[in-house]
Amino acid sequence: MARNKAPQDIQRRREQGRRKRKLQASAPTRRWWKLPLETLGILSAVAGVLTLIPRLSLEISGSRQPTSPMQTVFSLANDSLLPVHDVIVTCHLDKWEAKNMEMQGIGFQFPESHAEVLSPSQRMSLPCDRIIEGRTTTTAKMTIKVTYRPDYVWWLRHIEFPVEAQHNADGTWLWRRLPR
């Protein structure tokens, strides 16, 4: 027997090691799908961040006639770093009651309810004060619905601002935001 010859089990292990090294060397060519999936994941993350960045807020600016809740001026503000596009505002009466009249579930859109672009820090006055002229109001609840498109994306987002009017002891009305 020759002493310089390696045992058969050692030879098998060496051959298996060579095969593994060959497979590892050819692995990048077998995983051609990995790069497109990583690119798609990065693009999805960027789109998600851009979608979440827009922040619109509703401001109750004041009233043209404090004894009528429907004469309050609302404004929509863009508090984000990017502009929003295709802004459409709907003033939706959830519940409105007067002494001898009641309305609910009606939405109103006016030509002034649309803006092509709402830039950062820009405000847009909403025409919700023109819905109803009434001094005999007893209850008023409204939802201001906004549809817009964030910058650099093609899909639309929706946001709602529910508000309710409260009657003060001095006869004036104040609107307060309700939780969404």
pLDDT in tens, the chain (180 residues): 556 666 666 677 777 766 666 555 555 555 677 888 888 999 988 887 776 678 899 998 777 777 777 778 889 999 988 899 999 999 998 888 888 888 888 888 888 889 999 999 899 988 887 777 666 777 889 999 999 998 888 889 999 999 998 888 887 888 888 887
Helix, strand, coil % (nearest 5) of the chain? 30, 40, 30
Topology, domain 55-177: Immunoglobulin-like (2.60.40)
Question: Rounded distance, CA 163 to CA 86, Å?
Answer: 23
